[in-house]
Structure 1
Amino acid sequence: MKKYTLIFSVLSVFALSASAQTYTVKSPDHNLRLVLNVKDSITYAVSYKNTQLISPSVIGLKLDNAAIGAGAKVLSAKPSTVNKIIRPLYGKDAVLTDNYNELAISFTGNYKLLLRAYNEGVAYRFVTGLKDSVKVMSEQAGFNLKGDPGATIAETDNYTAWELAYHQYKSIDEIKADKHAITPALYSYKNGVKLVIAEADLFDYPGMYIKKKGGNMIGEWAAYPATTKMGSWGNFVSVVTSRENYIAKEPGTKEYPWRVIIATDDDKTLLNNQLIYKLSKPSVLENTSWIKPGKAAWEWWHDAILPGAPIPSGMQNRSTQLYNFYTDFAAKNHLEYMMIDAGWSDNYDVKKPLKRTDIRAVIQHANEKHVGVFVWCVAAPLLKDLDANLDYLKEIGAVGIKVDFFDRDDQLAIKQLQTIAEGAAKRHLMVDFHGCSKPTGLQRTYPNIVNYEAVRGQECSKWDLTANPVHHTTFPFIRMLGGPLDYTPGSMRNKSKETFKPIAEGLPSTQGTRCHELAMFVIFDQPLAVFCDSPTEYEKYPVIEQYLSAIPTVFDETKPLAAKLGEYIALAKRKGNDWYIGAMTNWDARDINVDFSFLPVGATYTADLYTDAADADKNAGKYEHKTIIVNRSTQLNLKLAPGGGAVVHLRKR
């Protein structure tokens, strides 16, 4: 009784009557409040620190034989509180606190609505227990944002794009109704509060977008594919040519995805908000000892050009000899992997390697050097005969696959991600998804998924200006909430805003300083960190090689130090006894003061410090390296050039 008295002090449930019934779920710290109203329909509202952010908004599911939420009648409401520990297999924290209040409301018609409130955000999901399978004709997910907030969103007019730049609106009134935003989507209130709309635990259901309708935001989903054909780039992508009048076909018993709302008045907390991960199903894999995050050499971004190398290089010279050169570089610099991209096999049949490369010999050489090999393949041809294709990739000795060109997130495409992850796991193959929709927690359920793309990444520096320092200080607050990303950092050809030009073929460069680029290895979440530049380029800078060899890709603890959306980020991460600090700014020069009070009492550290050189605003590749001694009393001022950055590696003395 004492337990439930405590729960009801947090969850206020008003008595059922003929009028509307109202239920309130509060976060453990009481800052967030989700209020549900049940009458002719089901509506919810969200408040943060006593200010309403989302006014009453209708939610429900329209099925072919039922209307979930319409004319709802409550049977029971069961509150509970959970406070436990999650220990991820890997990530940016070794331990997560899973603390929330939940209300499970049962309705006539054999369905439930689960409401949860965490300190990080609130969420709801429908759960059905129907006898027969159903078609989901549509879903109602309203987000009636109060007070005309601004928006930082990535927009599209199709259902095939997630590698997008973010557009900033001062007011949602400016948003056009003919586009929709990918999720997570961020909205900024005039009182400084940021609100993010997202989803979690997405299985066998289309991904959610946000669009404007009647001045409010609502969810939108791609309809179920009726017919498809091979087309798009390379003519090897499954393209939808017609769609049904429903969005999904589901079993009668189904847990629908969580609809997630994150709110905070401190931007930096978004950098370590793992609510989407917490809401997703735990790992279904019993043996995970073979899943090993790490760093990888890679040939594609710089067109396999190796200036000064003693062997022929360039895309036209991709060969066993060339890949062995990359493998040797990886082994020398303690990189766990070599990523072999498109061009080693027939794009339409992964079991047909091209004659110029003896893939078995490459993998055997890599094994002798204790380097694992990931190989690239295309999603649609892989899925045509998934078991045989995965068996072949395992048989030749690959440790992982980079699967590209899904280009959809309708129900069938979302199911394909799970099918590949499950099939790969049975063969102890890790997966790096590319050309895919954003992560929504599947990587917790199948931790052999070590990365997703779904970000406008370093590759875009080959053809436009979108991969820039403003972008780098924006997407960690939004896209990274969903999970890890394959940005492919590590450029050693760094340019200022004035001197940068895209180079599609040849040796590309990037926007921002050298230290801005190095900071990505701390700030970006990337269990598989794929190095974009040439081995011979890294070899020009021994102290940078030293840093890149040392930096891990997964950590035990993450501490956001200072941050403002679209402007700057400073973050500290710990692995064992070592700490790594990364700082970056947009195109504005600024000073960031690092307070080392997070270090243990009585401990001293040797700190390798990499900072922008005094003239890095003009020569972005210029940097300074020095070693200092620090403890928890140290205050360090980092001077960041326009598009600049800094990194610090602390080793306990």
Structure 2
Amino acid sequence: MKRFVSVCILLCFAVWGTIKAQVLTSPDGNVSLDFRLLSDGTPVYSLQYKGREVIKESRMGFLVSPEFVFCKDFEQIEERTGEADTVWHPVLGQYRDIRDHHKELFVALRQKDTGWLLNIRFRLFDDGLGFRYEFPVQEDLRNFTLKEEVTEFRLTGDHKAFWLPGDYDTNEYPTTTSLLSEVAFLTDSVRQEPLAVKSFTPDLAVQTPLMLKSADGLYINIHEAALVDYPAMQLNLDDKSFCLSAHLTPDKNGAKGFMQTGNVTPWRTIVVSDDARDILASNLILNLNEPCKLEDTSWIHPVKYVGVWWEYFTGQGSTWAYTKNQDIVIGKTDYTKEMPNGTHAANTAHVKEYIDFASRNGFDAVLVEGWNEGWEANFAYVKEHIYSFTRPYPDFDVSELQRYAAEKKVKIIMHHETTSSVCDYERQMEDAFRFMSEHGYDAVKTGYVGPIIPRSEHHDGQWMVNHYLRVVKMAAKYKAMVNSHEAVRPTGLCRTYPNWIAQESARGTEFESFKGNRPDHTTILPFTRLMGGPMDYTPGIFEGDLSVYGSNKAKLSTTLVKQLALYVTMYSPLQMAADLYTNYEKYPDAFQFIKDVAVDWDDTYILEAEPGDYITIARKAKGKDEWYVGGITDENSREATIDLSFLPRGKNYRAVIYADGEKADWRTTPKDYVIFSKKVNSKTVLKQRLAPSGGVAVSIKPM
């Protein structure tokens, strides 16, 4: 059901004066928005939650290149309000049904001297606000270049922040927790993190999604939704006034965005509550995206997979490359005449081992990295033509593996690493997806390690934002699902293009084999990175001491049970059992949870949550009378409270509980765990100790 009320007001002023604020309240009355024009025609908005100020009066608008101010001297020429209340059903997701209930305020503005038109659309939900700018088609303004977006988020104080430093090319920094006033002092040290590519913002800035907590207990999340044909937004930080302002990712010539009237910006989003659980439960960002644009979605499905992947990071000597020859020329080098290096892992026999393991244990697919020609120069960032996406190495028999996988009822996941030579990937892209279709692949992992080619572009700029979507659309043409790595952080577009099944776009498990992740890392990511969409975090590492393999001395930052719990707390319809399959064979009782746990859901219940400290989540498996619970903590031990009141009343269930052992500790005894079962029902409240950086995982099925 949709209800719309329209009011048109023509406001004409002989002398500038402050226009009376338009006030919009959320359906439940807890959130309120004020919008008005200041005496100089500057549009401003403010936001309140339960009568408490969230965002103080903040400016809106743009600066247009070369030196034109498009953020003041406006008059309002129209106003419309409305309300919508609908329910939609995601193809894959945390909920079977998602309600979109919001009120809307639309204002049309005209700049007094130029006559240029700008519209602003606000949507107010029970859990926050989304707003965007719209550039109507008009006679005197057609194509233009953005110098900056003026949008501000004026905060009420020195909030606690969970932040990444402003950067145009990577979101793989560890999250830092501090007061906003401490960001400037800490930024330089955070930027020392060794990453494949870094491009710092010139001024003090942080990335979105930005999670904040005020001193008086308000939780605030700032991000964007529906990022299409526009640069990603960073946030400039004034650490004296605590004002955040939009900082659009430029190209290397300084242009922020190339616009044409008739288009809109992404939504700027503010999710707010006095309960951290509401932040994780929010569907505001998804609701601000357009409905699914694919006519047929029957081929899109959840995936649980294993792969030829982790062994590259463990220090055993496995390589992506087939030879040691560094003078490969794609399309000219005859690999059959090259001497194999003897360490190439993506070979037919080894992949068959993973296919057999997947088939025995009910997994859907096997990811294979390093199957194609070109990996000898995979970190040659100055080389434009690096890979072939249709030519396998001599020891990777595509046709035989297609036959063998089909016989075992397992799919192989394609891998397209570009080393950020994006122009070359675009030249080969249709051939690459046609090759996938011809050989039975229905999913691809894309990668963008390193500086972008064309060399004028950044990972988060407008050109690359458009590229990621071009890949998703091309994949849909060939009925393939996409898992993007090193791409711009997601903004809910998985609703519009549900074949965009997952992204990395943050610091994932692979960093456990480098410098490592802190124990609080996965208690923060659901409040930051995952606000925009599902993440391919690649959990499930059982052997946390990588020194057992030889050269790598890294140690995992979690207990084994916490690795199990991540399958529930880190939402994704694409979940990997990331460890070597031989390690799962050593711990079959713990591995049972990974085999059982669902990856697509009917409902989700946020039981406990505090960013940076702990999360406990329960989920109902899609179309099944089964529930799974995951609870995790940071470096501190705690007792999780698991209230099972979400279970159907009057029915008994068997809960299998995977828990940290009495001596479990991520630093010393991460593999100490116990498994036990008990009868439960909707009246049961489980109390379970979590070790330092530990967890609990629960499988609940009918008796």
Q: TM-score, normalised by structure 2?
A: 0.84
Matched, 1:19 2:26: no
User: What residue in structure 2 maps to residue 137 of structure 1?
Assistant: 147
Residue 255 of structure 1 aligns to a residue in which SS?
coil
Shift of 1:291: 0.7
Q: Distance in 2 between matches of 1:287 and 1:317?
A: 36
Find the counterpart in structure 2 of residue 613 from structure 1.
Answer: 661
Between 59-68 and 527-536, report the one with greater CA deviation: 59-68
Pairwise CA distance, 1:640: 0.7
Q: CA RMSD in A?
A: 2.6
Give me the whole-angstrom Cα distance separating, in 2, the residues matched to 1:24 and 1:365: 63
| Matching of residue 320 in structure 1 with residue 326 in structure 2 | no
For 1:587 and 1:14, locate their aligned partners in 2 and report how far apart those are by CA, in whole Å: 59
334, 342, 346: which one aligns with 2:374 = 346
Higher strand content, 1 or 2: 1
> How far did 1:523 drift?
0.6
Please list the CA deviations of residues 253-306 of structure 1 after superposition, one character each: whole Å capped at 9, or x if unmatched: 101110111111111222221211111111110011111111111121233989
Uncovered stretches (5+) of structure 2, i.e. residues with no partner: 111-115, 186-201, 317-340, 376-386, 451-458
Letter in 1 for 2:237: K
- Give secondary structure in 2 for the equivalent of 1:103: strand
Q: Is the 2:416–2:445 contact (alpha carbons within 8 Å) kept by the matching residues of 1? A: yes
Distance in 1 (alpha carbons) for counterparts of 2:674 and 2:555: 20
Q: Distance in 2 between matches of 1:304 and 1:373?
A: 21
Residue 522 of structure 2 corresponds to residue 472 of structure 1: yes
- Return the match for 1:112 from 100, 119, 129: 119
Tell me: CA distance 1:181–1:289, structure 2 relative to 1, closer, same or farther (3 Å). Answer: same
Asked whether the 8 Å contact 1:302–1:508 carries over to 2, the reply is: no
The Cα shift of 1:508 comes to 6.0
For the residue of structure 1 that corresponds to 2:463, the secondary structure is helix
The within-5 A match list for 1:425-436 is 425-436=476-487
Letter in 2 for 1:218: S
2:314·2:549 contact (CA, 8 Å) conserved in 1?
no
What does residue range 40-51 of structure 1 map to in structure 2 within 5 Å? 40-51=41-52
Aligned equivalent of 2:159, options 121, 144, 149: 149
Identity of aligned residues (%): 26
What are the within-5 Å matches in structure 2 for residues 217-256 of structure 1?
217-224=244-251, 242-244=252-254, 246-256=255-265
**Within 2, Cα distance between the matches of 1:3 and 1:316?**
61
3-state SS, counterpart of residue 552 of structure 1: coil
Match of 1:518? 564
Question: Which residue of 1 is the match for residue 402 of structure 2?
Answer: 363
Distance in 1 between the 2:92 and 2:280 partners? 17
Between the aligned partners of 2:127 and 2:29, the Cα distance in structure 1 is 11
**Take 1:249 and 1:4, find their aligned partners in 2: how far apart are those partners?**
33
* Distance (whole Å) between structure 2 residues aligned to residue 56 and residue 202 of structure 1: 25
Aligned partner of 1:493 in structure 2 is: 543
- 5+ residue gaps, structure 1: 225-241, 308-312
TM-score (norm 1): 0.90
- Whether the 8 Å CA contact 1:205–1:410 is kept in 2: the answer is yes
Q: How does 1:207-226 map to 2 (within 5 A)?
A: 207-213=232-238, 215=241, 216-224=243-251
The equivalences for 1:19-418 within 5 A come to 19-21=17-19, 22-39=21-38, 40-64=41-65, 67-108=69-110, 109-131=116-138, 132-156=142-166, 158-172=167-181, 174-175=183-184, 178-213=203-238, 215=241, 216-224=243-251, 242-244=252-254, 246-303=255-312, 315-347=343-375, 348-379=387-418, 380=422, 381-405=424-448, 408-418=459-469
Distance 1:218 1:419 in 2: 29
- Give the distance between the partners of 2:59 and 2:184, measured in 1 at CA: 21
User: Helix, strand or coil: the match of 1:556?
Assistant: strand
Paired residue type of 1:401? V
Selected match of 2:581 from 535, 550, 554: 535
Distance 1:406 1:121, change over 3 A: farther
How far off is 1:504 after superposition? 9.5
Say whether the 8 Å CA contact 2:221–2:279 is kept in structure 1: no
- 1:133 deviates by 2.3
Q: CA deviation at 1:118?
A: 0.4
CA distance in 2, matches of 1:547, 1:582: 11
Size of the aligned set, in residue pairs, is 619
> Is the CA contact (8 Å cut-off) linking 2:515 and 2:554 kept in structure 1?
no
Amino acid at match of 1:592: A
The residue identity in structure 2 corresponding to 1:19 is: G
The aligned counterpart of 2:323 is none
Cα distance in 2 for partners of 1:433, 1:536 equals 27
Query: How far is 1:150 from its partner?
Result: 2.1
Task: Tell me the equivalent position of 1:602.
Answer: 650
| Aligned residue type for 1:74 | Q
How big is each residue's C-alpha offset from its partner over 1:352-394, in whole Å with a ceiling of 9 and x where there is no partner? 2111211232222111111111111134232123222221222
Aligned partner of 1:630 in structure 2 is 680
Q: Which residue is 1:422 aligned to?
A: 473
SS state at 2:74 partner: coil
What is the Cα deviation at residue 220 of structure 1?
0.6
CA contact (8 A) 1:491 1:509 kept: no
CA contact (8 A) 1:14 1:23 kept: no
